Amino acid sequence: MPFDLSSRRALISGAGAPNGIGMASARLLGDMGARIFLTAASDRVGERAAQLRLEGIDAFSAPADLTRSEEVRWLSAEVVERFGGIDILVNNAGMTSVATPAEASGEVGGIDEVSPGQLTLAFERNVASAFSLTRALMPALRLSSAGRVVMVTSVTGALMAMREQVPYATAKSAMVGLTKALALDEADHGVTVNAVAPGWIGTDSQSEHERLQGLATPMRRSGRADEVAALIAWLCTSEASYITGQTIVVDGGNSLAEERHP
């Protein structure tokens, strides 16, 4: 059967929000047959796993602060012990949320307002967390017959920029470099590493300004979390085994347009 993930073992980070990209990805991967392990910074990730189990998906969870190396090591060991290995890692942590909007995360501001500490924090939440989790799990991913790593970055930084978002854009852009470097290093081990760059996505954390920006895209709407999840899931399949080191945009054509119409 094409696009089948039966017996695959997946860890999805940043999966605490009920309507976010992490949860949508976990649900779709689970529907395709994968066993799911969810993590997020808060205890609410347990509620997400419970919901998936009610839907018939084999799902587990544990909260973890991925900016702390000891918690990354513990989580990685827990996942490998629980599943006996791992095949799929979706690095979705670091996205904005209702609990931590962009303004509260310290990732917003121009060069005159942003301190070196804020830039470091943006890197810790986005790049360093993905680096640390991937590093901890790569030995197990190399043992898989179909190792997959998917980084969830953003069109901001990777392809475009927004005013007053120096830390966020810089950190998200760095995730693209990490993706390319890992893809080259791990190709001999059969592990593919790709990035997905969402544009305006209508999750619970989307602001009114962002919603209006979504209406100005060529598709005249914001994207849905499940539309991003569809690409993430496909990159995890055997059918995508010859794709690596790529950053694929999901933005309704927004990055194509030189002009904007209200």
Active site annotation includes 242: no
Separation CA 154–CA 156 (nearest Å): 5
Note the pTM of the prediction, 2 decimals: 0.93
Give domain status of residue 260, yes or no. Answer: no
Separation CA 86–CA 172 (nearest Å): 25
Give domain status of residue 28, yes or no. Answer: yes
**Residue numbers in the chain where pLDDT is lower than 70:** 1, 95-107, 258, 260-262
Give domain status of residue 89, yes or no. Answer: yes
pLDDT of the residue at 70: 98
pLDDT of the residue at 109: 82
Give domain status of residue 1, yes or no. Answer: no
Give domain status of residue 262, yes or no. Answer: no
Question: Do the strands 35-38 and 59-61 form a parallel or antiparallel pair, or are they unpaired?
Answer: parallel
Structural domains counted in the chain: 1
Which residue range forms the structural domain that includes residue 220?
9-253
Give domain status of residue 258, yes or no. Answer: no
Q: What pairs with residue 88 in β-bridges?
A: 10, 148
Structure tokens given for 122:
């943006």
Give domain status of residue 110, yes or no. Answer: yes
What is the CATH number for 213?
3.40.50.720
Longest distance between any two alpha carbons in the chain, whole Å: 55
Give domain status of residue 261, yes or no. Answer: no
Integer-rounded Cα radius of gyration of the chain: 17
Candidate list 60, 123, 131, 168, residue with the active-site label: 168
pLDDT of the residue at 95: 55
Please answer whether residues 125 and 105 qualify as being in contact, where contact means their C-beta atoms are separated by less than 8 angstroms.
yes
Separation CA 97–CA 184 (nearest Å): 32
pLDDT of the residue at 194: 99
> Which phi and psi (to 5°) does residue 74 adopt?
-65, -45
